A and B are shown apart, each in its own frame.
Chain A
Amino acid sequence: MPIIKIPTPLRAYTEGEKDISVEGKTVNAALDSLLSIYPDLKKSIYNEYGQLRAFVNLFLGEEHIRDLEGLDTPLTEKDLLLIIPSIAGGRG
């Protein structure tokens, strides 16, 4: 099954789990599968209009899904999908 890697700031919504095995043959289906396990993640991933939030970047391997086929990008059983959010820390 494809695995979605959850970044630290969002692990508060996945009971601390970082690598989640999901069902789905596309990025979209994999996200649906992830959110069916951890519904609290939904507001961090999608905005109120149901669109992917602009600060959430999804990478399949090294490639941004925007540069592939977006949410329709096909996934294989062994794929690793990275969620990369913006983090701001540094000075304080």
Chain B
Amino acid sequence: MTTLTDQEFLRYSRHLLIPEVGLAGQEKLKASSALIIGTGGLGSPIALYLAAAGIGRIGLVDYDMVEDSNLQRQIIHDTNTLDKLKVESARARMLGLNPYIQVDSYNEPFTAENAMRIATGYDIIIDGSDNFPTRYLSNDVAVFLGIPNIYGSIYQFDGQASVFYAKEGPCYRCLFPTPPPPHLVPSCADGGVLGVLPGTIGSIQATEAIKVLLGIGSSLVGRLMLYNALEMSFDYVKLKKNPKCPVCSENPTITELIDYEEFCGVPGHHIDEMPNEWDISALDLATEMKSSSPLLLDVREPHEQKISNLPEAKNIPFGELASRLSELNTAQEIVVFCRTGNRSLYAIEILLGAGFRKLKNLEGGINEWAEDVDTSLSIY
């Protein structure tokens, strides 16, 4: 039986006062464990609130370093931990907030190879990842281990949250059997996100985690919560177990972890660092442009051009590309670019499908051009 120390009685006083938590509940939280996938936008509030709440053992999985562009929303990190490992930055902050817990950090990508080793022994998984391969992996691991997967996901002003727990209700695959084709749904790195949005959704995940660990209230099992920050609307839809679900139905077709990157058709980690046959570096392009004049095709949104711009480029936002192909000439060489080289790669996929062949992708996007060629441009 886990018992509280005198310092912990003081610390958790406001929990001890709520009848639904009380002494037994707080001791239960101290004896509980939670694995948080990702220590970014969602992981920040989740990790901070679970640490503050006194969850006895919290695991953190991430492999990134803290960067400037994280701090608009990843409030567990700070300016003093720039360039440090995210798991270590987060761990130090959590132990500073609450020294009476244990924080285990896993400085590695969460993959089919290490996932069962890392997750075995935890009571719940909390999915704060940012890509489809990791989301399917987290789901399947939770189903195979028979534990809840507290789900949250965000995009621009929209958030979703649910509790996927195959023993009591549907899993992630019951709702989304397969991921979208890569170019159809942009990521936060491409589409942006309101900084406080992961705070809202991550706090809801932390709430659900604590309720599930305590066994109190009505959880989001069997419900998907939909939040829109612009409209300040919360909607709920009912989710049922899919009788044909490949992992959690009575006759599953997937009974062990699979290759999630292949399944999703995208790399789970560092998509922008994957080499591809269309890439041209900013320096090489600058050299090439001295002797030839390819069409520079900017697939960013108009508001991004106000931050940095190549005046000679033609702008067709990614979402309009498929319907504006007639403005382009298959005979001309086209160099596609965006902010960092992701969207442009998906644009190349669309152009290839439409018969274009003379294509290049500006590796690292306009940001790399700003770094290596025209340093008067802003990097964002």
Contact = CB atoms under 8 A, between A and B. Distances in A.
A9 interface: yes
Interface stretch (A21-29, A51-59, A70-78): A51-59
B237 A90 contact: no
Contacts of A54: 176-178
Given A90-B41, A91-B37, 12 more contacts: A9-B186, A44-B180, A59-B237, A84-B224, A88-B132, A88-B155, A88-B179, A89-B153, A89-B154, A90-B38, A90-B188, A92-B41
A53 B180 contact: yes
23 contacts: A8-B155, A8-B156, A8-B157, A8-B228, A40-B323, A55-B178, A57-B176, A62-B236, A67-B238, A85-B180, A86-B180, A86-B185, A87-B153, A87-B154, A88-B153, A88-B185, A89-B188, A91-B38, A91-B128, A91-B129, A91-B131, A91-B134, A92-B40
B240 A67 contact: yes
Contacts of B177: 54
B160 interface: yes
A90 B152 contact: yes
A84 B40 contact: no
A60 B266 CA distance: 31
B134 to A, nearest CB: 8
B175 A57 contact: yes
If over half of A's interface residues share one DSSP class (helix, strand or loop), that class is named, otherwise mixed; here it is mixed
B116 interface: no
Contacts of A7: 158
Given A40-B323, A54-B178, A82-B237, A91 B62 contact: yes
B133 to A, nearest CB: 9
**Which bracket fits the contact residues of B?**
35 or more
A62 B130 CA distance: 26
B187 A92 contact: yes
B341 interface: no
Contact of B42 (A12, A82, A84, A91): A91
Given A55-B180, A64-B238, A88 B135 contact: yes
A88 B187 contact: yes
A13 to B, nearest CB: 6
B283 interface: no
Given A57-B175, A67-B240, A84-B224, A90 B157 contact: no
A31 B71 CA distance: 41
Size category of the A interface is 20 to 34
B240 A89 contact: no
A11 to B, nearest CB: 8
Interface string B143-160: 000000000111111101
The 6 nearest A-B residue pairs measured at CB:
A12-B319, A91-B38, A89-B188, A91-B130, A91-B40, A90-B42
A87 B224 CA distance: 13
Contacts of A53: 180
A39 B320 CA distance: 12
A8 B40 CA distance: 22
Nearest to A16: B319
Contact of A90 (B154, B224, B322): B154
B238 A92 contact: no
A9 B155 contact: yes
A7 B189 CA distance: 18
Given A87-B185, A89-B187, A64 B239 contact: yes
A90 B184 contact: no
A63 B158 CA distance: 20
A87 B198 CA distance: 13
Contact of B318 (A12, A57, A66, A89): A12
B43 interface: yes
A67 B128 CA distance: 29
B65 interface: no
Given A63-B238, A90-B154, A43 B184 contact: yes
A51 to B, nearest CB: 12
Nearest to B226: A84
B52 to A, nearest CB: 20
A13, A53, A82, A90: residue with the most chain B Cβ atoms closer than 10 Å: A90
B237 A88 contact: no
A56 B134 CA distance: 19
Nearest to A45: B184
Interface in B21-73: 37-43, 62
